[in-house]
Amino acid sequence: MSDRKQFRDLAAPEAAHDAIDSLDLAPDPETVPLSDARGRILAERVDADLDVPGFDRASVDGYAVRGRDTFGADEADPVAFDLVGTVHAGAEPDVVVGEGEAAEISTGAVMPDGADAVVMVERTEEVEADGAVRGVEARTAVAPGDNVMLAGTDIAAGARALGPGTRLTPREIGLLSALGVDEVPVRGRPTVGIVSTGDELVRPGGDLRSEAGQIYDVNSYTVAAGVEEAGGEAKLYPHAGDDYEQMEQLLFEAASECDLVLSSGSTSASAVDVIYRVIEERGDLLLHGVAVKPGKPMLVGELGGGAYVGLPGYPVSALTIFRTFVAPAIREASGLPEPETATVRGRMAVRERYAEGRLRLMPAGLVTDADGDTLVYPVDKGSGATTSLVDADGVVAVDPDTEYLGAGDEVAVQLFSPDVRPPTLLAVGEDDPALSRLLDRLDSPRFRPVGSREGLRRLRGGVPDVAVVAGPTNREVDAVDLGGWTREWGLVVPAGTPDDTESLGDLVDRDLGFVNRNTDAGLRSSLDAAVDDLADTRGVARSDLTDAIRGFAVGTKGVESPARAVARGDADAGLGLRATAESLGLGFVSLGTESVRVRANPDRVKKPGVEQLSARLDALDPVTDGLAGYDPE
Amino acid sequence: MSDRKQFRDLAAPEAAHDAIDSLDLAPDPETVPLSDARGRILAERVDADLDVPGFDRASVDGYAVRGRDTFGADEADPVAFDLVGTVHAGAEPDVVVGEGEAAEISTGAVMPDGADAVVMVERTEEVEADGAVRGVEARTAVAPGDNVMLAGTDIAAGARALGPGTRLTPREIGLLSALGVDEVPVRGRPTVGIVSTGDELVRPGGDLRSEAGQIYDVNSYTVAAGVEEAGGEAKLYPHAGDDYEQMEQLLFEAASECDLVLSSGSTSASAVDVIYRVIEERGDLLLHGVAVKPGKPMLVGELGGGAYVGLPGYPVSALTIFRTFVAPAIREASGLPEPETATVRGRMAVRERYAEGRLRLMPAGLVTDADGDTLVYPVDKGSGATTSLVDADGVVAVDPDTEYLGAGDEVAVQLFSPDVRPPTLLAVGEDDPALSRLLDRLDSPRFRPVGSREGLRRLRGGVPDVAVVAGPTNREVDAVDLGGWTREWGLVVPAGTPDDTESLGDLVDRDLGFVNRNTDAGLRSSLDAAVDDLADTRGVARSDLTDAIRGFAVGTKGVESPARAVARGDADAGLGLRATAESLGLGFVSLGTESVRVRANPDRVKKPGVEQLSARLDALDPVTDGLAGYDPE
C-alpha cells in the first residue's frame, strides 16, 4: 500500500478552512469598461468628480423668471411678463432674463442668467397681440429656487459616491454613468486552473472507448462551472498522465498562470500519488486528509508560489468539498458575498442513522410537501454515481457526535448552487417513453427510474410525491391513483427477420441470446407472469423454462437496454416495448399489454406539482400520440 | 400642447402586462459549447445516448473473480486463487478469469471476461512462492455482482437525463459531461436594443458641456445592465436626435436586429414625440400611458415585426417600469425564473400618505433594526435625482384605493436587482472627508449627505441608524453618542495669495465673492456663530454683516463645493475645511475648530452595523491620519 492510502492523522475541518484561507488567491484589481462592470465588486471608492446636475436646471416645463417679480400673482390677479426667448434642453441659453421678463424653458434645460425660478406651464397663459405670442401671464407666485434643481443638488463634486466592496447592480451602473465614469476599478476574478488526472478520462465530445474503461471527464467540467459561479475564471489543463516529470511541469505551468490550481482524485490512483509527491517534494504540503466524509483524500498545498487544492474523485464528493472549502475562498478573493439562496432550511423526511465519528457532509435531496414546506432526504450513499449530482440538491453537515437525524428534525441544506430549486414534483418508478414526454410538459419535475417495485417501496417510505408503476403488482400501498395508460410489450428482435422469433416459447425452445430487465421493472413482472402461464400450459416447472432461456437471470436497468443490445447485435431478443422497437427500427413480437399507473402519496395530492401532473394525465392524447402500442386510459 | 402630453385614457397595469406579453420576444434556441452553458436554460430534453458507466466496472480495488468460486470463504477458512493478471483503470483487460482464478483490479477498471465479482483488497492476502506473488487468498465470500457497477447502472442509454426548461448549474453541467455532451441546446437570449433619446445626452467618458445643459446618459446604461441581469443581451444604439426620418431609420434598424427595442423618455420632449409618431404611423401602437405612477409616459408597440417599449425619463422611474413590466417579459423569453431574492418583505418604518387614484410603484429603501428585521421607508418623491437609484432598494406597489400605509404595516419590496441587499448601516448627516474614509472601512454602509440639521431631523423620525452632526447645535434629540472627531474650518482661498484674505472681517469689509454652504450644514452653523460673535464685537446687527458679504445667502450642497468654486476662479473665498483646502491645493484662513459627532438611534445600538461603526470610532487614528486639521476625540 502506498502512503496515500493511509490517513492516520486527518485534519479537523477548521484546519482545512484555515489552510485554504492562508493561501492568497486574490488577484490584483483591474479596470473594466462600464458596460462589463455589472456583477463585479468595486475595488476602491468612487468620488464624484463633477456636480450632478452640472448646472442650475429647470425641473418643469414653463417660464424662467426672477422669483421676486411674481410676488402677489394668483389666479384672479396674474402678473404679465415679456417673452424674451426660449431655452431648450441640451442647448446653451442665448437669453438673459431681466426684470419683468420671462423665457420659455423645457424640463432639464439650463436656467438662463438672471432667472432664479420657473413658473410651471400649467399655471401660465400666453398673451397674444397682433396674432403672435408676445408675452405670458403667471397665475401663481414662485420663490427664488422654485422648480429649479441647483447644480450639485443630486451629487456634489467631491462627494463619496460608491464605496469599495460595492456590488455593481444596474442601479450602481446608473450612478456611475451619471458621474461620467466609463472605466471602473473592480476586484480581480481569481484564475483557477483545473488539472485533469486519470488516463481513462476523455473530454466530452471526444470518442469514448468503453471497452478500454474510458469515461468522460465529469469533475473538471462540474468544478469549472462551480469556479465561475463563485466569481472565478476557470482554466482547464490537459491531463499529464502519471509521469512524475510531466506532472511536475504541468503543475508548475498551471501554478504560474493561475491563482489556484485544483485537481480531483481519479480512479487512477497513481496519478493522484504523483501529484501528492510533486506537492510534497517541490512545494509545500499544508494538509493531507480532512476528518470529513467525504474529505479523506483532500489535499491543500502550495507550489511555485501558487495555491493547490486536491478534491475527491466521486463527482458528488468533489462538488461537496469544492462547495464547502474552496468556493468560499474563491468568493472571498473575488469579493462576492455568499448568495442568500445558497442555504435552505427544511425538515428531515426520514430518520437517518449516523455514527462515524467525523463530520459528514451528507448529500441531500429536497422535496416540498402540500403546504410548500421543505423536506430533506439523504441520497447517494457513496455510490459515486453521476446521477447523484442531480438527485442531491446540496449537503447537510452532520456533527461527528450525532447518532442519528430524526424524521422531522430541522436541518440546513447547503445547496450545490444558489440557483438550485427543489423540484416541483418528485416522481420515482418505472421508466417509460410516454412518461418522459409527460415530464417534458411539467415545470421542473424530478424522476428517478428505480423501477416499479422499488418505486412503490419508496412511495411507502413517504419521500416521493408519486410512483409510476407498470405491470402486475400485488403490493398493497396507500396511494391515490392519478391516472395512466397502457403499453404493448413483448420481445424486441432484429429488424427484417420477423420469422425468426414468434413467441415466448421460441426463447425456451431455441438457443437464442436474450436480454432481460431487472426484477424491479414492471416489464419483468409482466414477463414473469407470461412465463408462469407458459409453464402452466406446458405442464412444466417455471424453472425449467427460465433455465432454458439464455440470459434470463441477468437484468438490465434501462427501458431501452435490451433493445439496444439487440440493435448492437449482442442478442437475439430483448424484453421491451413496441414503441422502443419502432423508434430503434427493430422488429417486435407482441406478448401483451400492461398498464402503467401513476400513484400519489395521499398527503401530496394537493401539492401544485402533483395537481399539474394530474391535469396532464387527464389529457394524455398529445403525450401518447405517435407512440406505437400506447393507449391513454 | 402635443398629443403626447395628454393622458386621457390611461391603460390599466394589467393591460400593459398583456400588451407586452402579446409581443414575441423569444429568439430561436441556440447551441452553445458545454463550457458556456452554465446559467442557460435547456431548450429541449437531453436523453442519454450511452450507458454510464459504459462497461461493467470494479467499484473497489481488489481481485476480480467468479463469485461462485468464493462460496464458503471466511477469515478462518480463506479460499486460494491463482493470479492470472492485472487490470488497470483506463485499460482494456488482456486477461480472462477462469474457475479458481483471480485478476488484480483497480477501482474503475473494466471487469475482465469471466469475472462477475470483486473481492476488496482489504479482505485478501497475497500468497508468495519462491519470493514472488503467485496467488491470492480471499477471506470473504462475494456473490456475483458484488463490488461491480454494471454498465448502465448510473444512467441507461435511452433514459431521459434532463428536461426542457432545466437551468444548467454546475451539477447539470457534470451530468452532461458524463453523457459526453459538448454542445448544449439552450434557450436563446433575447437581444434588446436601447435607443438613446435626447440631444443633451453624452455617453460616459465623453466630454460634457454643462453650460450647454449636457448630462451623461444614465438610463441607457442602467437599463442595459437590467437587460443583461434578466437574461437578455443589450445593444446600445446612438441617438438619432429628433429628426423624423433619422429616427424612423434608426428604429427600423434596431427592430430588424433585436427582439425588443427600448427607449426612455428624455428631457427632450420632441425626441419622444418623434418616436411616438414613428410607432403610430409606421408601426402598431398598442398602448400609450399606464395608470401607474410613474407609468404615464409608457409606450408599447410594434415596429417592423419587432417589439417596442418606451420607458419614463427619470432614472428611478425608468428602472421601476423596466423592472415591473419589461424584465419579467425578458426573463420569460429567455426561460429564466424570477430569482427568489427579487422580493423581500418588511414593515413600514414610517406612515406614508397616499391618495392618487392610480397604482403607485413607490421607491423604497430598506434598513434593518437591531433584531435584523427589515424596515421599509419611502424615498424619492419624484425628484428625478440620480442618487435615488442607490437610496432606493426597490419599489412597493401601493393599490389605487390605499389612503395611507401605516407605520408597522407589512409590505413587499420588489428589489431593483436580486443582488440588492439592505445596507448594514444607514447613516445620514454631515458630509466630511474623515467620514468618507470611515465608511470605506465598513461593510456596505449607506450614507446620505443631507447635512447636520436635516440629519438630526431624520434621526428623530426613526429611520436612519445614525446621524453625523457637525458644529454647534441646540437640537434636543434622544440619541447615543458613539464618538467623533474635530475638524478645522474657515475660509478656503486661492493658493499663493495668503495675504488677500485674513479674517471673516475681510469678507464684510472688502468686495469679495463668497460661496457659502446651505443652512443644513454644520459648517454653516459654525460660520453663523462666528458672524454673531463678530457682530457683538463690532456692536452691529448681524444682518449688517451678512448683507455685506456677497454670496452669503446662497448655499451649496457639497463639503467641497465652495472650495471647488474658488479653485475654478468663480469666487474669492468659500466656507470649508483645512483638509479640503490642502487636498485641492488652495489657501486657507482658519476660523476655528468644530466637533463632528456620530449619534445613534438608541434602538439600533446593538445592530451589528452600528457596533462595527462604534468599534471603528474607538480607533480613529488611521482614519484621520494625513487629514489636515483633524483630531480624533
pLDDT of residue A257: 96
Does the distance separating the beta carbons of B559 and A91 come in below 8 Å?
A: no
Collect all residues of chain A within an 8 Å Cβ-Cβ radius of residue B337.
Answer: 421
Q: Read off the pLDDT of residues B40-92 as tens digits, 9 standing for 90 and up.
A: 999 999 999 999 999 999 999 999 999 999 999 999 999 999 999 999 888 89
* B31 assigned to some structural domain: no
Grid cell listed for B283? 408601426
| Secondary structure percentages of chain A, helix, strand, coil, to 5 | 30, 30, 40
Nearest to A445 by CA among A428, A462, A470, A432: A428
Residues A373 and A484 in one domain: no
Q: Which domain holds residue B78?
A: 57-149
Which residue, of B334, B369, B387, is where some domain finishes? Answer: B334
Separation of alpha carbons B157 and A345, rounded Å: 35
**Mutation target vs B (from A169, A201, A554; most B CBs, 10 A cutoff):** A169
Residues B112 and B125 in one domain: yes
Q: Which residue of A has its CA nearest to B165?
A: A444
pLDDT of residue A2: 38
Which residue, of B334, B350, B375, is where some domain finishes? Answer: B334
The length of chain A, given as a count of residues: 633
- Look at residue A428 and give its three-state secondary structure: strand
Nearest to B292 by CA among B311, B273, B276, B275: B311
**CATH code of the domain covering residue A37:** 3.90.105.10
The number of domains in chain B is: 5
Grid cell listed for B207? 466630454
Nearest to A184 by CA among A171, A202, A194, A172: A172
For the purposes of burial, counting CB atoms within 10 Å of the CB of B325, is it exposed (0-12), middle (13-18) or buried (19 or more)? buried
Q: Read off the pLDDT of residues B556-593 as tens digits, 9 standing for 90 and up.
A: 999 999 999 999 999 999 999 999 999 999 999 999 99
* B381 assigned to some structural domain: yes
Residues A126 and A176 in one domain: no
pLDDT of residue A498: 57
Measure CB to CB from residue B268 to each of A90, A182, A557 and give the nearest one: A90
Helix (H) or strand (E) holding B538: helix B522-538
A:B CB pairs within 8 Å: 413
**CATH code of the domain covering residue A75:** 2.170.190.11
Residues in contact with B471: Cβ distance below 8 Å, sequence separation at least 6, in sequence order = B430, B452, B521, B522, B523, B524, B525, B526, B529, B594, B595
C-beta of residue A127 within 8 angstroms of C-beta of residue A68? no
Separation of alpha carbons A468 and A463, rounded Å: 14
Distances (CA, A) of B551 to A196, A247, B532, B546: 72, 75, 17, 9
Residues B504 and B552 in one domain: yes
Helices then strands (H, E): number in chain A?
17, 37
Average pLDDT, chain B: 92
CA A210 to chain centre: 29
3-state SS track over A126-157: EEEECCEEEEEEECCCCCCCCCEECCCCCECC
The verdict on pTM exceeding 0.90 is: yes
Residues B547 and B608 in one domain: yes
Nearest to A573 by CA among A506, A487, A486: A506
Nearest to A405 by CA among A353, A362, A461: A353
Nearest to A101 by CA among A127, A69, A125, A133: A69
Q: Taking phi first (over 0 means left), then psi (-120 to 50 degrees means alpha), and beta for anything else, what does residue B211 get?
A: alpha
Residues A613 and A472 in one domain: yes
Residue B8 has pLDDT above 70, yes or no: no
Low-confidence ranges of chain A (pLDDT < 70): 1-8, 266-269, 381-382, 474-475, 497-499
Nearest to A113 by CA among A127, A101, A130: A101
pLDDT of residue A199: 79
pLDDT of residue A575: 98
Separation of alpha carbons A395 and A342, rounded Å: 11
pLDDT of residue B109: 92
**Mutation target vs B (from A40, A42, A221; most B CBs, 10 A cutoff):** A221
Distances (CA, A) of B71 to A96, A339, A503, B136, B326: 109, 54, 37, 15, 70
CA distance B92 to chain A (A): 4
Q: Read off the pLDDT of residues B147-188 as tens digits, 9 standing for 90 and up.
A: 999 999 999 999 999 999 999 999 999 999 999 999 999 999
Does the distance separating the beta carbons of B163 and A439 come in below 8 Å?
A: yes
Q: Which residue of B has its CA nearest to A449?
A: B159
Residues A388 and A509 in one domain: no
Distances (CA, A) of A254 to A261, B104, B209: 7, 34, 50
Collect all residues of chain A within an 8 Å Cβ-Cβ radius of residue B115.
Answer: none
The residues that bridge with A404 in the sheet, in sequence order, are: A353
Residues A38 and A164 in one domain: yes
What's the first-to-final CA gap in chain B, in angstroms? 61
**CATH code of the domain covering residue B230:** 3.40.980.10
Residues A537 and A601 in one domain: yes
CA distance A74 to chain B (A): 22
Collect all residues of chain B within an 8 Å Cβ-Cβ radius of residue A579.
Answer: none
For the purposes of burial, counting CB atoms within 10 Å of the CB of A241, is it exposed (0-12), middle (13-18) or buried (19 or more)? middle
Nearest to A573 by CA among A522, A481, A460, A497: A497
Helix (H) or strand (E) holding B165: none
Q: What is the ipTM of this complex?
A: 0.92
Does the distance separating the beta carbons of A228 and B156 come in below 8 Å?
A: no
Residues A179 and A281 in one domain: no
**Mutation target vs A (from B45, B216, B270, B344; most A CBs, 10 A cutoff):** B216
* B286 assigned to some structural domain: yes
**CATH code of the domain covering residue B495:** 3.40.190.290
pLDDT of residue A356: 74
pLDDT of residue A269: 63
Separation of alpha carbons B410 and B344, rounded Å: 11
pLDDT of residue A500: 72
* A339 assigned to some structural domain: no
pLDDT of residue A280: 93
Distances (CA, A) of B620 to B441, B623, B630: 11, 5, 10
Separation of alpha carbons A458 and A464, rounded Å: 7
The residues that bridge with B467 in the sheet, in sequence order, are: B428, B599
- Look at residue A223 and give its three-state secondary structure: helix
What is the rounded average pLDDT of the residues B313-327? 94
Q: Which residue of A has its CA nearest to B220?
A: A174
Block residue for cell numbers 423454462? A545
* B515 assigned to some structural domain: yes
Q: Read off the pLDDT of residues B370-423 as tens digits, 9 standing for 90 and up.
A: 999 999 999 976 678 899 999 999 999 999 888 999 999 999 999 999 989 899
Query: What backbone phi and psi angles, to 5 degrees, belong to A371?
Result: -85, 0
Collect all residues of chain A within an 8 Å Cβ-Cβ radius of residue B95.
Answer: none
Residues in contact with B142: Cβ distance below 8 Å, sequence separation at least 6, in sequence order = B65, B67, B70, B117, B118, B119
* A63 assigned to some structural domain: yes
What is the rounded average pLDDT of the residues B113-135? 91
**CATH code of the domain covering residue B367:** 2.40.340.10
Collect all residues of chain A within an 8 Å Cβ-Cβ radius of residue B519.
Answer: none
Q: What does B442-486 look like in DSSP terms, one character per residue? A: SSSEEEE---HHHHHHHHHHT--SEEEEES--------EEEEEEE
CA distance B23 to chain A (A): 23
Which residue, of A277, A305, A334, is where some domain finishes? Answer: A334
Residue B5 has pLDDT above 60, yes or no: no
* A340 assigned to some structural domain: no
Residue A79: half-sphere exposure toward Cβ, Cα within 13 Å: 20
CA B327 to chain centre: 15
3-state SS track over A478-530: CCEEEEEEEEEEEEEECCCCCCCCCCHHHHHHCCCEEEEECCCCHHHHHHHHH
Q: What does B550-602 look like in DSSP terms, one character per residue? A: BTTT-EESSTTHHHHHHHTTS-SEEEEEHHHHHHTT-EEEEEEEEEEEEEE-G
Residues B313 and B355 in one domain: no
- Look at residue B79 and give its three-state secondary structure: strand
Q: What does B394-434 look like in DSSP terms, one character per residue? A: EEEEE-TT--EEPTT-EEEEEESSTT----SEEEEE---HH
Does the distance separating the beta carbons of A416 and B177 come in below 8 Å?
A: no
Separation of alpha carbons A404 and B317, rounded Å: 54
* B548 assigned to some structural domain: yes
Residues A22 and A140 in one domain: no
Measure CB to CB from residue A198 to each of B89, B170, B419 and give the nearest one: B89
Separation of alpha carbons B79 and B102, rounded Å: 11
Does the distance separating the beta carbons of B420 and A218 come in below 8 Å?
A: no
